[in-house]
Structure 1
Amino acid sequence: MGTESSKTRLLLLDVTERLMLEEGYAAVGVRRVAREAEVAPALVLYYFRTLDDLFLAVLRRRADEELKRLDRLLGGPQPLRALWRLSSHPGNALTTEFTALANHRKAIRAELAAYAERYREAQLEALTRGLAEAGTELPPEVSPAVLLVLTNALGRVLMMENAMGMNTRHAETLAFVEEVLQRYEGTSAPAKTSGR
């Protein structure tokens, strides 16, 4: 309900996202969002019939933005570095919140899985094209798909551990990542996650 481009609707989405990032998805409720946005709770329900509808709108907005950004980032001269930056970016914290929320809400789980599949396929297409355009040759036993999954998994684990304050052996791992990136794409800014 309400128009997609309404300033109030966008404010409600911004408030919800901020609460999820600062306090976790459990902090999000119709009354809390209304109070933070300085509107009546009925107005939140005017734009979003249910709390799940509000969560889904935040998920869709961010997922659509990421899909648009993806092709541009992986289409540059260093697609492996771009993939590493995408995978280990602290902005993935919102994805972590949605993953936790998906454990409790079927609608969120279905939507998150659908976007994740689209995102993975778009990543693979962009990475494969970027590697070809950059003339980067991978060893025969490492396909772009395997590289994609490994990079995403490693980046996400390091980012989540960093968020918890754990960074044991991260320096060694990041040095290895940098060595691999240099081997395939040359020197650039050091590989890093949001923490140490």
Structure 2
Amino acid sequence: MTEPRRRRAATEEKVARVLDAAEEIMLREGHAAVTSRNVAERIGIGAPLLHYYFPTVDDLVVALLRRRSGRVVERMEAALASSRPLQAWWDLASDPRGTALFIEFLAAANHRPALKAEMGEVAREVRRTQMAVLDKILPEYDLDPEEFPPALIAATMQGLALGLVADEVAGYETAHKQARAAMSRLVARLEQRRAHRRPR
């Protein structure tokens, strides 16, 4: 993958339009539809101009992941710092749009080594953040970290959300609505328990 070019401030709006178009194509048509031609046509520019900003499709997809993951990390930190951290985390993790995009990034990473490496970095950063916070707050939910270690809680929250949204997006009838409702009830009960245990 080539090194990204330095951009003047005046080009940032065009770059944002390219990334917005690529994200919509990925979400609606899948990662394989994110091509230089498709993205350029979507925003009415020529492919050579798009290549000026992103010399390869790998550069474009990695830039898209970086933009999306930067937002996700910020939202995750805000969720975990909120007054109802597990609820806010579950709402974020089970957001259909964000999770559907993540599924497409996962699929694309199987064919793009640069993207796979970048996703690994993002996953490690997010999981470190999650586990550090969980280590502090699990006792507030009356959850024994020995029995329910942060790694288990984090993997369960993210994994269940990923599976549910994947089935929803694909249109599979796997009782995902019932599972989502049950998880929402469980998280709400845990937040209630935490609220009663914390000093007022």
Q: 1:31 to 1:175 in 2, by over 3 A?
A: closer
Asked if 1:25 is matched to 2:18, the reply is no
In the alignment, is the contact (CA less than 8 A) between 1:20 and 1:27 conserved in 2? yes
Query: Partners of 2:59 and 2:31 in 1: how far apart?
Result: 14
Alignment of 1:20-169 (within 5 A): 20-90=26-96, 91-131=98-138, 135-139=140-144, 140-169=146-175
Output the aligned Cα RMSD: 1.9
Query: Partners of 1:17 and 1:130 in 2: how far apart?
Result: 35
Q: 1:171 to 1:9 in 2, by over 3 A?
A: closer
What secondary structure does 1:186 align onto? helix
How many residue pairs match? The answer is 185
Letter in 1 for 2:113: K
In the alignment, is the contact (CA less than 8 A) between 2:167 and 2:176 conserved in 1? no
**Greater than 3 Å deviation, 4+ residue runs:** 126-132
Query: Partners of 1:35 and 1:180 in 2: how far apart?
Result: 46
- Structure 1: give runs of 5+ residues left out of the alignment: 188-196
1:50-109 per-residue CA deviation (whole Å, 9 max, x = no partner) reads 110000100001111111121111111221112211221111111111100011111111
In the alignment, is the contact (CA less than 8 A) between 1:2 and 1:46 conserved in 2? no
In the alignment, is the contact (CA less than 8 A) between 1:25 and 1:101 conserved in 2? yes
Q: CA deviation at 1:160?
A: 0.5
Q: CA deviation at 1:176?
A: 3.2
Letter in 1 for 2:7: T
Q: CA deviation at 1:127?
A: 3.6
